[in-house]
Structure 1
Amino acid sequence: MTDQPTATTTEENKFYESFSRNFDNAAKYTKIDRGMLAQIKACNAVYQMQFPVEIDGEIEVIEAYRIQHSHHRLPTKGGIRYSSVVNQQEVMALASLMTFKCALVDVPFGGAKGGVRISPRNYTVKQLENITRRYTTELIKKKFIGPGIDVPAPDYGTSAREMGWIVDTYRILGGEDINASACVTGKPVQIGGIRGRTEATGRGVYYATREVLQDKELMNSINMPTGTAGKTIAIQGLGNVGSHTATICQKEGGMKIVSVSEYEGAIYSADGIDVEKLIKHRAETGSILDFEGAENMDDRFDTLYVECDVLIPAALENQLHADNADRVRAKIVAEAANGPITADGEKILLDNNVIIIPDLFANSGGVTVSYFEWLKNLDHVRFGRMDKRFNENTYISMVNLIERLTGEKVNVEEKLDLTKGGDEIDLVRSGLEETMITAYSSIRAEMKKSDIPDMRSAAYAVALNKVASDYSQLGVFP
């Protein structure tokens, strides 16, 4: 274990500094004791590791982390990211954010996060597997993973593939545990994953954005009509989160994607970009550039500055800051990534009357569906198995009764639609939608009750009060 470092203003820990300032801003709107606030803010366990892996016949020492922010609820929960810029301050901030994200959406976990300091594109699949299994071994040795201890998930640079390697390693080394599958979420469906997990964070961003766009009071404050149809979007990042966010916004919300940026550059089209075709184009060419019907932009960061209704940063943290936030022309910024706006950048945006949908809320779809997956693994039964056919038979009986009483017939397609029982993915999406709607209602209620001017401080205040209540119930504080 390492001592907790003090956050400074250096480039590598701006994210942690922003988290700290956001926490302190929200704390002012609560009545929580200062001592309890200090405990809630602190990371409970910081594990920094260095482990050797053979790469191309040579030994490479890998730097990695697993940080558990809060043990007020167990297990702790949070993703593992693979990135060449991973550092302890970043992982601390992400772990801390997870605690309040879970509390906001009523998911019974403490926050955690993991990071491995590598660039995945520099390694073969076999090398990545070796690194992942070695990292998992370190977590097992120190009891930093387990269904009731700490449950990782995918994050930037990782996917269901890496989660599959982790659960397999845990099963091999973790002993005979009937609940072993619950040691990690975001797994392939074939080995205990859940349908809808891959799209979950992006779908959550859509639901969060939709709720804001349907809020008449907020929309009046920025002179925008309510509803999603026709709203323009610029999106930074076309990875898992960005691609699903854009696709769902387009297909289900009727929104228009006017700009997309990625590692290799950015494109723009006032007429709209078909995201599914763009994803196919990138798979074929290796780039989003030169997409038919769109123009290449001079700089990949230009997407952040296009005129649009909603800007969705879905890449990494610290993208909007004191030096560029004043160039943003969107009316709403939805934080699909974790921490894409620094505290200084946020002040500029709020002063310019830009609505910010904070990561604490917008980005919570992933952990919500991870919770569903964890429950599925502990219950050892997929969602819908017990009641789907019963519900279908009930609905069919109801439709048949209505047909007899009215003398009218429902056509075959309508009847199939009306009488369909919920599959796993239907139930997951329904549960996620309900979670996001409820969380949004609690944020708006807190804004009005405590006269909080911004959504982020209100979201933190809601979460802080829940965590403080848990500590009190545990008897940790009088």
Structure 2
Amino acid sequence: MAEQNSFFENVNKNFDRASQFTKWPQGLLEQIKAANSVLRLRFPLKRDDGSLEVIEAYRVQHSHHKTPCKGGIRFSENVDQDEVMALAALMTYKCAIVNVPFAGGKGGIKINPKKYSEFELQKITRRYTSELIKKNFIGPGIDVPAPDYGTGAREMAWILDTYMSMNPGMIDGAACVTGKPVSQGGVRGRTEATGLGVFYGVREVCNTHKVMDKVGLSLGVEGKRVIIQGLGNVGFHSAKFFRAFGAKVVAIAEYEGAIYSEQGLNEEEVFKHRKKTGSILNFPGATNLPSSNAALETECDILIPAALESVINESNADRVKAKIIGEAANGPLTPEADAILNAKGVVIIPDMYLNAGGVTVSYFEWLKNLSHVRYGRMEKRFTENMNKQILAQLEDLTGKKVSSAERAFIEHGADEVDLVYSGLEETMVSATREILEVWNSNDAIPDMRTAAYIVAINKVGTSYDELGIFP
């Protein structure tokens, strides 16, 4: 059996395939591809039982064509240098595609967070942060972490507190990390941002005649059969928004197994069932599938892998029946799976921009922290008062009154979450259209992933070129 490429090698393989469609010299392409700075850490942890353990951790700054670098921190037993380098590279390309002015970074701590107490996790997070500060690998204008697999708002609050304790009086210090609780400078809408961004991206593809004609489906997401692999934060919110806009989530998979219902599943009810029983299996009204992987091979219109990398590979790609695959996770398809599925005519919406909702809303949070004002605070009441005046004038002129529900909708001034959703929708729609335009511009470009890489390479290459680093 052929030796499998590493995750970072897979990312570079996709990069190389796309770079032939760009104008940049080989030297610049090598610079864009390289991971600029890799920090490998080892530090001791005193466990609650008094024993000592050495913790392995990483932070990678993939590119410095812009600052700060940006990328999440994951807690996982699978963390290694290759994985963190690959994820940092994807962040560089992701930020470029969605026009967020960051370079790519990523961090990881090699632990299973379920095996540590809250106090131990706090000690690990704070020590990791202090090491990043000492090495100048964190700061509002240097490198800005965020949540990732195994981390959340709690860990980001610990990072912020540690950073501020070592940088007292820094007025913009809250911008050193994103994904924080709202009370600590976080932004409303961050929790659901990645899942909502996945929905916006897939919806825009489904609203494109050329793509839907290619796969033989009608326009729009309404009525489409969707399968979600992974019921974590991203999978849960992806399912929620697909269901809310008329799609049917016919199957959900988790590591313990998968369930199927032709009538559609309610992700909130499935989540409650799992919390109560410890498993999604035996959900009332649903059928258990033989395995978690069986969901990937079940008949559907749209498949959303929202868990770990390489779940679709050369061993199972030929059995995947979905017509559209939206990569909500990082690297859920291997290059070998790409080739098999492209040959079958499947449209793959690539991870490198589809799951950019998190970093897009993190950018909004970063801007909020630098401006020191909540979105909507300055204009909400003005907009509401203006809308009331306009509505009153229209009612006087027509002699008709609108219903109370219509009145509330028309008069409403945008809250922070409304503006965040609007900015995210604009970002994902614009990025999707730009990628599709590149894909349609050249028949030799084989797929949407290659088109996305072309967009990213051209934007990063232009940044380097304008800096005059490669005259």
Alignment counterpart, residue 183 of structure 1, candidates 176, 189, 209? 176
Return 399-408 or 378-387, whichever deviates more: 399-408
In structure 2, stretches of 5+ residues that fail to align are none
Query: How far apart in 2 are the matches of 1:334 and 1:258?
Result: 16
Alignment counterpart, residue 75 of structure 1, candidates 68, 84, 99? 68
Alignment counterpart, residue 303 of structure 1, candidates 295, 299, 304? 295
What per-residue deviation string (whole Å, max 9, x for no partner) do you get for residues 280-322 of structure 1? 1112222111110111122111111110001100001111111
| Structure-2 residue corresponding to 1:289 | 281
> Is structure 2 residue 32 aligned with structure 1 residue 40?
yes
Query: How far apart in 2 are the matches of 1:175 and 1:73?
Result: 26
| Structure-2 residue corresponding to 1:88 | 81
| Structure-1 residue corresponding to 2:95 | 102
Shift of 1:10: 5.8
Shift of 1:141: 0.8
Q: Secondary structure at the match of 2:6?
A: helix
| Structure-1 residue corresponding to 2:419 | 427
Q: Secondary structure at the match of 1:320?
A: coil
Alignment counterpart, residue 59 of structure 1, candidates 52, 60, 65? 52
- The sequence identity of aligned pairs, in percent, is 57
Query: How far apart in 2 are the matches of 1:10 and 1:133?
Result: 38
What per-residue deviation string (whole Å, max 9, x for no partner) do you get for residues 178-228 of structure 1? 111100000011100000000000000000110111111111111111111
Query: How far apart in 1 are the matches of 2:319 and 2:9?
Result: 23
| Structure-2 residue corresponding to 1:319 | 311
| Structure-1 residue corresponding to 2:143 | 150
Query: How far apart in 1 are the matches of 2:417 and 2:168?
Result: 31
Q: Secondary structure at the match of 1:148?
A: coil
| Structure-2 residue corresponding to 1:49 | 41
Query: How far apart in 1 are the matches of 2:299 and 2:243?
Result: 18
**How is 1:56-455 mapped onto 2 (pairs within 5 angstroms)?**
56-251=49-244, 253-451=245-443, 452-455=445-448
One-letter identity of the residue aligned with 1:269: S
Q: What TM-score, normalized by structure 2, do the two folds share?
A: 0.98
One-letter identity of the residue aligned with 2:71: G
Distance 1:330 1:84, change over 3 A: same
Query: How far apart in 2 are the matches of 1:453 and 1:429?
Result: 32
In structure 1, stretches of 5+ residues that fail to align are 1-8
Q: Secondary structure at the match of 2:218?
A: coil
Q: What TM-score, normalized by structure 1, do the two folds share?
A: 0.96
Query: How far apart in 1 are the matches of 2:296 and 2:112?
Result: 24
> Is structure 2 residue 23 aligned with structure 1 residue 31?
yes
Query: How far apart in 2 are the matches of 1:363 and 1:52?
Result: 34
Query: How far apart in 2 are the matches of 1:353 and 1:14?
Result: 26
> Is structure 2 residue 456 aligned with structure 1 residue 463?
yes
Q: CA RMSD in A?
A: 1.0
**Aligned pairs, number:** 468
Shift of 1:176: 2.2
Shift of 1:406: 1.0
Query: How far apart in 1 are the matches of 2:169 and 2:256?
Result: 46
Given that residues 140 and 174 in structure 1 are in contact (C-alpha distance below 8 angstroms), is that contact kept between their aligned partners in structure 2? no
